[in-house]
Amino acid sequence: MKNLIYLIPLFFLFSISLSIQSGQISKVNDIDIWWDSFGKESDPPLLMIMGLNANSQHWPKEFIQELVDKDLYVVIYDNRDTGKSTWINNENFFVKLVKISPNFIKKWFVDLIFGSMIDEKGRFNIEGLPSSYDIEDMSSDAINLMRRLGIDKFHILGVSMGGMIAQQTAIDYPDNIISLTSWMSSPGFNVEGLKGPEPFFVEAIKQSALLNFQNKQSESILYIYEKQTGSKYNFNQAEYQKRVNMILSHGENSNSGHMLAVGASENRLNTLPKINIPTLVIHGTEDPLIPFDHGKKTHFLINNSKFIPLEGVGHEFVKDQYGFITTEIYNHIRNAIGEKK
């Protein structure tokens, strides 16, 4: 009995291991990429890619733990331009000037910027803007990070812009990707016939940007989290505030060039049909940023893909669905491994 007492601290340390930010930085494509891993290296590897302007701490720790408990080896990382990876775009002189200007100037500037980014059909109009990198470059970051880790073949999961990066990785590196999961993502914002963001959410993005110009980054992130929530589940502000605190302590670049990178990239209308690996597409029916039809179009374009609609869910991670979604991802990966044998 006395010997068992000494095991209690070890159990406690294991149970909180996911809450401690460890991770390390590797040189990839001549920039620093911060990454972390969870689980046993002998388990099937799953690379998870986060979305636009978002560092890796947007991944809920409980969600990662669910995947690890299903015997998956999970790797997360900060995309270039956010978190602890290299920031290519930083706050320039003009942004600093706007930040010290009166609020009516800040609001005028936000209205001007987003007025030019949304076309007459309500869709993002961001093609042709100058960008120092594109989705293909970010896909190259993903594949070369895994090569740096000595992992030649792996499964890939991306959310939002991360889904675009994951799609591009599956297109460009078919011999390395065993299976693809594209969640709340799109074949491209400029694909004809697909909807733009909901009008109320465009206003929410503008308000979030205004809060950033007022140096209220925590309020900005929390506000957009709430507005992208669907109707089926309540928004738990206290729980999200804890996550926002972790996100900001890790380094969130509100001046990243991610949106410009999306605009500088070709859509995948003609290249997604080339994907012939097992693919899972997940999308919320009430996604206000990347509407539901983007998910359906992705599913349509990728042959033999499986589509999971999340009823009443927005552009969000829903805690009540972690078990269901991680089980679907696990089964998808296991089936892909079976097909490879």
Rounded distance, CA 101 to CA 152, Å? 50
What is the token pair recorded at 281? 């597409």
pLDDT at 311: 98
pLDDT bracket for residue 2 (50, 70, 90): very low
What is the token pair recorded at 212? 């950033």
Q: Which amino acid is at 194?
A: L
pLDDT at 148: 97
Q: Which amino acid is at 239?
A: E
DSSP code, position 126:
-
What does the pLDDT average to over 22-39? Answer: 96
Percent of the chain with pLDDT over 90: 79
What is the token pair recorded at 94? 């003009």
Instruction: Tell me what the pLDDT averaged over the chain comes to.
Output: 91
**Considering only 32-46, 106-120, 178-192, which range has the smallest mean pLDDT?**
106-120
pLDDT bracket for residue 222 (50, 70, 90): very high
Rounded distance, CA 85 to CA 35, Å? 9
Cβ-proximal residues to 281 (8 Å cutoff; 6+ apart), any chain: 181, 182, 183, 295, 298, 299, 302, 305, 306, 307, 308
Strand-pair category, 154-159 with 73-77: unpaired
Encode pLDDT of 284-339 as tens digits: 999 999 999 999 999 999 999 999 999 999 999 999 999 999 999 999 999 999 86
Strand-pair category, 31-38 with 306-310: unpaired
3-state DSSP assignment of residue 7 = helix
Encode pLDDT of 46-93 as tens digits: 999 999 999 999 999 999 999 999 999 999 999 999 999 999 998 787
DSSP code, position 304:
T
Question: Considering only CA atoms, which of 128, 167, 165, 173 is closest in space to residue 147?
Answer: 173
Domains and CATH numbers, the chain: 36-340 (3.40.50.1820)
Residue 173 pLDDT > 80: yes
Cα Rg of the chain, angstroms? 20
pLDDT at 339: 65
What's the predicted TM-score (pTM) here? 0.91
Cβ-proximal residues to 25 (8 Å cutoff; 6+ apart), any chain: 32, 33, 34, 35, 84, 85
Rounded distance, CA 255 to CA 53, Å? 8
What does the pLDDT average to over 122-135? Answer: 89
Contact (Cβ atoms closer than 8 angstroms) between residue 163 and residue 186: yes
Residue 99 pLDDT > 90: no
Rounded distance, CA 280 to CA 291, Å? 17
Cβ-proximal residues to 88 (8 Å cutoff; 6+ apart), any chain: 31, 80, 81, 132, 133, 256, 257
Please give the distance of CA 297 from its chain centroid, rounded to a whole number.
19
